[in-house]
Amino acid sequence: MKITQNTRISSLTRTILIAATLSTVSFAKASDRPSHPSEIVFEELNFTPPKASDYRHELSNGVPVFIAESSEFPLVTIRFSFKGGEYMVPADKAGLGALTGALMRSGGSASMTPDELDEEFDFLAANVSAGIGDRTASASINCLTSNLDDAFALFMDMIRNPRFDEDRIEITRGQILESLESRNDAGVQIAIRELGFLMWGDEHFEGRQPTRESIESITVEDMRNLHERIFHPGNMMIAVTGDVETKEILTFLENTMSGWPTGEVSPDIPTPTQAYEPGVYYYEKDQPQVQVLIAHRGIERDNEDAIDVEVMNQILGGSGFTSRITNTVRTQEGLAYTAGSVFSNRIEYPGMFMSYFFTKTSTTALATRLVFDEIDKIQTEEATTEEIEIIQNSLIETFPRNFESKSAMMGLFMSDERTGRDEDYWQNYRDRVRAVSAADVQQAALNYLNPEQAVIMVVGPVEEIKKGNAETEADSNRIATMDEFFGGQFKIIPERDPESLKPVDSE
């Protein structure tokens, strides 16, 4: 570009104006500048959580549809959610849900082979998925709004009329069977598996695991039957986000859903009947690091004290470096890199409290003692004001993340309606968190932490673990052995074949 005199003057003028502006701003800031960062006052951010009812609609067949319009990109995402999952599968067919869900996407449709369907979706730039989880099943499509008619027609054909291509089934079956071979490689995987057996039983879907026998027994007919039971409008909810107009997309869904029969609603999730036995359980594995899980029954999601329990657990072990278990076991004692606790609540029945840490063989007993000490402390001494405020502020300040994307928000609304959560829950959540007191935290610990009812699941070299740290610890107050727990009584869980999960000695 040719530089002229006028160009130079304009450039100089802009420079002077910018400098003057910056100078003014600088002086203004200097005059208002606080003497210390603690004096900085931030404008309060007010966030009002949206209500599901503002986004909820209903098709003529009774299917709820949650719609959030957004014209930011010329894209639309439609997600189907269905009641039904692995809990509906017989124990001897464990893994049927995951295999069926995978093949719905990869196995083609009645009118197209897998390769043909993949090519069509790729041509239309449509991202499509399907899956069956423990409790619910889902299918979703994301595509350009301009391609919705063609892409959604293929999507509906895939959902309603899956081909379950035999070649793709065998490929996926082979991948699953190959993954079973390595199930004993990682100690944490063993610990979680064995804890599941102990807490839920191997007949309940929460505890059972697929085996070579169960995977090999699954037939195309099994997959078709499960698909037919789950994937129909009687079990369905829909979420739509993106470049759509509400009235038009409702009409579109009415037309495309026409003629899809409503089947029988899936049964409710069964309550586990396993009565677990507290105590110390070992699984022998020659490894330098020991995995320890300490668990007992927890609470239902809608328990009236659930928020008190949430705050209590965050103080105990759920909030990372600010939590007591992490601070004691990892930061102060240096016994573990990972340590903490969690309350994994269930909707239909009590969930599970679990504390966890991974440590050396010689310090397993000491770290276990420290965890139990922290449980005792939170039950017998009130939490400090600072501890409670840190957790309250964290929960309140991160609260808007539940609604940070329209897709996540619609998914939350579907889940809440399916599980019967009160719509006012999110409106009142922060006030209920603010209301938690030190007495509430202590009472929650007394009511819902039950160390005498705990299962201590330990994976590692058993004899070395049991000896404790007497040979390496000079401080007598820090010497610990596993005999401290449950009167020194314990049970050895036999080594399992990774594919059959049967005790190795019995095969």
Segments making up each domain of the chain, as ranges: 52-257, 279-499
Is residue 38's pLDDT more than 80? no
The residues with which 3 forms a beta bridge, in sequence order, are none
- pLDDT reported for residue 34: 80
Contacts of 430 (CB under 8 A, 6+ apart): 395, 396, 399
Q: How many CB atoms lie within 10 A of CB 431?
A: 10
| 142 or 473: which leads in pLDDT | 142
| 502 or 13: which leads in pLDDT | 502
Six token digits for residue 70: 């957004």
Stated as kind and residue range, the H or E segment containing 20 is helix 5-32
Phi, psi values for residue 351, rounded to 5°: -85, -135
User: Do 259 and 470 meet the contact criterion of CB atoms below 8 Å apart?
Assistant: no
Distance CA(445)–CA(355), nearest Å, equals 14
Is residue 46's pLDDT more than 60? yes
Least confident piece of the model among 240-244, 255-259, 372-376? 255-259
Contacts of 184 (CB under 8 A, 6+ apart): 190, 285, 495, 496, 498
What is the pLDDT averaged over residues 97-104?
A: 97
Share of the chain above pLDDT 90, in %: 88
pLDDT band at 30 (very low <50, low <70, confident <90, very high): low
User: Do 257 and 249 meet the contact criterion of CB atoms below 8 Å apart?
Assistant: no
pLDDT band at 473 (very low <50, low <70, confident <90, very high): confident
Provide Rg for the chain, Cα atoms: 28
Phi, psi values for residue 289, rounded to 5°: -115, 135
- pLDDT reported for residue 29: 54
Fold assignment, 279-499: Cytochrome Bc1 Complex; Chain A, domain 1 (3.30.830)
- pLDDT reported for residue 27: 45
- pLDDT reported for residue 32: 67
- pLDDT reported for residue 39: 79
Is residue 23's pLDDT more than 80? no
Least confident piece of the model among 235-239, 452-456, 463-467, 469-473? 469-473
What is the pLDDT averaged over residues 421-432?
A: 94
User: Do 80 and 126 meet the contact criterion of CB atoms below 8 Å apart?
Assistant: no
Residue whose tokens read 């000491």 = 366
What is the pLDDT averaged over residues 293-319?
A: 97
Is residue 429's pLDDT more than 60? yes
C-alpha distances out from residue 499 to 211, 213, 434, Å: 5, 8, 49
What is the pLDDT averaged over residues 237-265?
A: 96
Handedness of CA 454, 455, 457, 462 (dihedral sign): positive
- pLDDT reported for residue 506: 55
The mean of the pLDDT values for the chain is: 92
pLDDT band at 16 (very low <50, low <70, confident <90, very high): very low
- pLDDT reported for residue 37: 80
User: Do 39 and 409 meet the contact criterion of CB atoms below 8 Å apart?
Assistant: no
pLDDT band at 5 (very low <50, low <70, confident <90, very high): very low
Which has the closest alpha carbon to 241: 73, 372, 86, 101? 73
- pLDDT reported for residue 59: 97
Contacts of 205 (CB under 8 A, 6+ apart): 85, 86, 87, 89, 134, 270
Distance CA(162)–CA(139), nearest Å, equals 12
pLDDT band at 423 (very low <50, low <70, confident <90, very high): confident
User: Do 349 and 206 meet the contact criterion of CB atoms below 8 Å apart?
Assistant: no
The overall pTM is greater than 0.85: yes
| 469 or 36: which leads in pLDDT | 469
pLDDT in tens, 141-171: 999 999 999 999 999 999 999 999 999 999 9
What is the pLDDT averaged over residues 351-380?
A: 97
How many CA atoms, within 13 angstroms, populate the side-chain half-sphere of residue 26? Answer: 6
Two domains, one topology: 52-257 and 279-499: yes
pLDDT band at 14 (very low <50, low <70, confident <90, very high): low
- pLDDT reported for residue 26: 45
What is the pLDDT averaged over residues 281-306?
A: 97
Is residue 226's pLDDT more than 90? yes
Fold assignment, 52-257: Cytochrome Bc1 Complex; Chain A, domain 1 (3.30.830)
Is residue 305's pLDDT more than 50? yes
User: Do 137 and 82 meet the contact criterion of CB atoms below 8 Å apart?
Assistant: yes
- pLDDT reported for residue 7: 40
